[in-house]
């Protein structure tokens, strides 16, 4: 498999390795809540924003600061380009950032594509898609050991398709050999409305996300016209978590682009979520 080359280095984040590592470390160290009161530092997953670091880096840093994620991560992102398959899996090789290569976990990718949830091998949905690439340096710097990923581009919001994919992901992650794997979602929140409307809409979506309510998240995003680009990836992750056990979702940080730009009329919202999973507490059955 070819190495996936970065497409937004030098634009969304620094292209120089030293500058990039310094920027990420600065965001990670800037959080006021590094302690995670009442929670283990070892989380099952998280949701990170994927805008330019000047806008969303502080939220990503606050989410990961003090957190320990699994070393094998299925990364679920939206499809901004419209290319490729509805559930496109980069099946092998590696992804490159200025900080170096991150290998794709080919065994986990093969298992996911064989699980019957609609996942298929597809590099085209990823070639021009920035939303995994932007969060990857944060994961590289925050990693406590070796890091391997399975990049998945989610190009469908159909509730049934998202639920089936979540069930398939859960079935793969429930296998003993994958007990050390987790999930990262890449998503921004509402786009290009004024700051008041954006905060209102973000609150509606986050209410459902914090409840672990995958169908409710997709429903409110549709009914309230919330342009949260990663609603389907997050719903997929929540479906999987519900199948695996008891999921707890916490809001680490929320902000809008107005903080950095000063423009309060055309803003984008950013949120960071942390997901803890206690396996085996939910009975088998349809995903919630």
Question: Average pLDDT of 113-127?
Answer: 97
Q: In the predicted model, is pLDDT for residue 288 greater than 50?
A: no
User: Are the C-beta atoms of residues 125 and 233 closer than 8 Å to each other?
Assistant: no
More confident residue, 216 or 33: 216
Report percent pLDDT > 70 for the chain: 94
User: Are the C-beta atoms of residues 193 and 83 closer than 8 Å to each other?
Assistant: no
Pairing mode, strands 45-48 and 267-279: antiparallel
CA distance 54 to 164: 36
Q: In the predicted model, is pLDDT for residue 218 greater than 90?
A: yes
pLDDT of residue 187: 98
Q: In the predicted model, is pLDDT for residue 287 greater than 50?
A: no
Cross-strand partners of 3 = 94
CA distance 201 to 224: 7
Phi, psi (deg, nearest 5) at residue 19? -65, -40
Question: Average pLDDT of 51-63?
Answer: 97
pLDDT of residue 105: 98
Question: Average pLDDT of 31-59?
Answer: 82
Phi, psi (deg, nearest 5) at residue 215? -60, -40
Model confidence at 1, pLDDT cuts 50, 70, 90, reads confident
Q: pLDDT digits over 132-186, tens only?
A: 999 999 999 999 899 999 999 999 999 999 999 999 999 999 999 999 999 999 9
pLDDT, averaged across the chain = 94
Q: Nearest-CA neighbor of 120 among 76, 73, 85? A: 85
Measured in whole angstroms, the distance separating CA 22 from the mean position of its chain's CA atoms is 22
Q: Nearest-CA neighbor of 272 among 17, 18, 19, 43? A: 43
Question: Average pLDDT of 245-265?
Answer: 96
pLDDT of residue 47: 98
Q: Which domains are assigned to the chain?
A: 3-121+154-175+195-279 (3.40.830.10)
User: Are the C-beta atoms of residues 135 and 48 closer than 8 Å to each other?
Assistant: yes
Q: Report the run of H or E that residue 253 belongs to, with start and end.
A: strand 245-256
CA distance 89 to 8: 20
């Amino acid at each position: 498999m070819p190495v996936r080359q970065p497409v937004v280095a030098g634009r969304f984040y620094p292209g120089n390795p030293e500058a990039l590592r310094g920027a990420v470390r600065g965001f990670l160290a800037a959080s006021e809540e590094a302690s995670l009161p009442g929670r283990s530092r070892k989380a099952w997953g998280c949701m990170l924003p994927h805008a330019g670091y000047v806008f969303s880096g502080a939220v990503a840093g606050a989410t990961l600061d003090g957190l320990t994620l699994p070393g094998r991560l299925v990364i679920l992102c939206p499809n901004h380009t419209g290319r490729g398959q509805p559930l496109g899996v980069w099946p092998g090789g590696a992804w490159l950032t200025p900080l170096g290569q991150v290998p794709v976990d080919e065994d986990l990718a093969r298992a996911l594509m064989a699980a019957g949830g609609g996942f298929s091998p597809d590099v085209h949905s990823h070639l021009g898609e920035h939303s995994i690439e932007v969060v990857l340096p944060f994961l590289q710097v925050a990693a406590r050991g070796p890091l391997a990923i399975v990049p998945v581009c989610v190009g469908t919001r159909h509730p049934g398709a998202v639920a089936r994919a979540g069930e398939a992901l859960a079935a793969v992650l429930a296998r003993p050999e994958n007990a050390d794997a987790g999930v990262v979602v890449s998503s921004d929140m509402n786009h290009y409305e004024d700051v008041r409307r954006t905060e209102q809409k973000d609150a509606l979506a986050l209410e459902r996300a914090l409840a672990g309510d995958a169908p409710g998240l997709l429903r409110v995003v549709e009914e309230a016209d919330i342009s949260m680009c990663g609603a389907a990836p997050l719903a997929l992750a929540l479906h999987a978590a519900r199948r695996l056990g008891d999921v707890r979702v916490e809001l680490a940080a929320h902000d809008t682009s107005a903080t950095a730009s000063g423009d309060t009329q055309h803003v984008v919202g950013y949120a960071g979520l942390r997901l803890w999973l206690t396996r085996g507490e939910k009975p088998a059955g349809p995903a919630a």
